[in-house]
Each structure stands twice: as C-alpha cells, then as structure tokens.
Amino acid sequence: MNRDLVAGCAVLCAAILLCARIPVAGWLGSALLPVPLLVFGMKAGAATARGMAATALLFTALFGGRAELFFFGGLILAGLAAVETMGRGASIEKTVLAGCGAAAVGLFAGIWTTALLEGRDPLALLLEGVQRQLELALEAYRAAGIAEEQIQFLEESAPLLARLMIGILPGLVVSANLFALWVSLLVARSLLVARRLPAPAWGPLDRWRAPETLVWAVIAGGVLLLVPSLPAKAVGLNGVLILGVVYFFQGIAVVAFTLRRKGAPRMFRALLYALIGLQQLVTLGVAVLGLFDTWFDFRKLGRNRAASAPPGGDA
C-alpha cells in the first residue's frame, strides 16, 4: 500500500475532524486545509492527491453533516484542482483560478443536486442553511458574553442578513476559497522547499502584481454599487469582494517587498502580519495599498515588468 497515500489521508482527515470539532480551528485552520493535498500531491503525484480527496470526502460525508460536506468539500476540491494544475507547470494565477473554479462548481452542484433529491427549491435550501449558520453564530456570541442588546438586534436583523448573504454568496465562496488556496499554496511551497521536494518555480511573491487591466473591473464594480438596482448592486458587491482579496495579496506583496528591502527582523514581520490578519481596518488598508500600487508602483517594478511577472515564493 502507498505509504504517502495512507499518511496523507490520515493527516487530511485529522485536520477535517479538528476543524469541525473546534470552532476556532474551524475558522483559522480551514484556510490551510488544502496544504496536505498540495504537499503529498507534489511529493507522490496527482493519483495520491485524488485518493486523499476521495477518502476525505467520504470521511466528511460519514462523520459530518451537510454543512460540513459542503464547506470542507469545496476546500478539498480546490486543493485537488490546484495539484492537477501545478503538475502541468501552470502559473500561480492559473492554479488558483482552477482551484476556485472547482470549489465553486462543486459547491453549487452539490446544493442543486441535494435540492433536486429532496424535491426542494435550491434557493430555499440555501436560505435555510444560511439561517442555521446565523443561529450558530448567535449562540457563539451568547457564549462569548456579548451584550444582550446586541444579540437582540442581530436576532431581529437575521432574516435581512440571511437574504443579503444569499445575494453575495458567490463572492463569499470565491473570495474565501481564493484566500484559503493562496495561503495554502504559499505554505505548501515553503514546506516542499524545506524538505527538498519538487516545488513550483513561481519566483518571488513579493514582486507579484495583479494584471493592470483588472483595475477596470474594480471601477465597474464600484459603478454598479451606485446603480439604484438591487441585482446590479449584488453583482457589484460580489465583484468587489473577490477583487478585494486579489488586491489584498498585492498589498501584502508590497509590504513583504518593503520589509525585505529594509532588512526587518523576523519577529517584527511576524507581528506586523499578525496585525494585518487580526485588524479589519488594517486588512482593508493593505487591500487599498495593493490597488494603488497599480498606479504608483511603490516597488518600482515598472522598469523590469518581466521580472515581476511570475508570482509566488516568499512573503
């Protein structure tokens, strides 16, 4: 029996169990769930990754609920698609695009199939799932000691919040998988390099930048948010959510490039990255920094665009 397959299945299933049973690990650890698939897939081949993915999906279906299967299943499909794409020597953009596409298609296909089997409207099924998640969030807030007035306000706003989340669900799904897959690719690549295993040759991430033409999509999304039409606003908000993650990573690249140039100590870098991850306003500021880097070229990469083209690497 393939030892890498057995070890990979054990690690991946243990990670799923940990994320499902411990709330904090569920939110934070799930962003790294594709890492075992990426590492073992690059080490032992795509066939091993396929076996791990199939085992993990079966494990989740047997020991978890529908919500867990949809949630973890998307991340598993994203990791598997990334392994398949990396094996063909694709760029990090194509790898992430393939992973996010697989996760989104798998999730919505699963919801549609479940609705058909149960003879229900897919939208009603989605709304029920979102409302259940809001109820769980309210329970968690109560356990955390949040003021009762705030809890009551959230309870009264729950129906409106549920409908709002349905409208932006595509953007939430894609942006969440985009973030998780990008972070997982960086962690997996570092592990592969540290163990002297085959790793994608993507070049230094701190020189990465989004295609300049993408800024027109941001402008279009902003314009749609101003249109007095709910469908137009929904499309604009979904686009802004996804592009916000893209420019967040460009902003992180600017920060990493500057810290490397200045020779900042590792401890300072770690504290700064923790601040970026924990403070929402700082996170938003980094995304804005990435957007403005398109025009102002803070890293002065314009003279050597070819050198900044292949993304990936150290951050």
Task: Please write the tens of the pLDDT for every residue from 78-106.
Answer: 999 999 999 888 999 999 999 999 999 99
Binned at pLDDT 50, 70 and 90, residue 312 comes out as: very low
Q: Find the helix packing angle between 230-262 and 280-296, rounded to 10°.
A: 80
Q: For residue 303, give both structure tokens.
A: 């003279």
Give the range among 10-19, 22-31, 53-62, 250-259 with minimum mean pLDDT.
Answer: 22-31
C-alpha closest to that of 211 among 166, 246, 164: 246
- How far is the C-alpha of 236 from the C-alpha of 280, rounded, in Å? 21
- 184-232 pLDDT, tens digit each: 999 999 999 999 988 888 888 889 999 999 999 999 999 999 999 888 9
CA–CA gap between residue 82 and residue 38 (Å, rounded): 7
How would residue 315 be classed by pLDDT, with cut points 50, 70 and 90?
Answer: very low
Tokens representing 200?
């994608």
Amino acid found at 189: R
pTM reported for the whole predicted model: 0.85
pLDDT digits over 272-294, tens only?
998 998 888 999 999 999 999 99
Which residue's structure tokens are 């469908």?
Answer: 231
Interatomic CA distance for residues 104 and 170, integer angstroms = 8
pLDDT exceeds cutoff 60 at 310: no
In terms of Cβ atoms closer than 10 Å to its own Cβ (0-12, 13-18, 19+), residue 1 is exposed
Per cent of the chain over pLDDT 90 is 55
Average pLDDT on 125-137 reads 79
* DSSP tag of 195: T
**Cα distances (angstroms) measured from residue 236 to each of 65, 108, 112, 224:** 32, 20, 24, 5
Q: What mean pLDDT is predicted for residues 28-53?
A: 91
pLDDT at 304 over 60: no
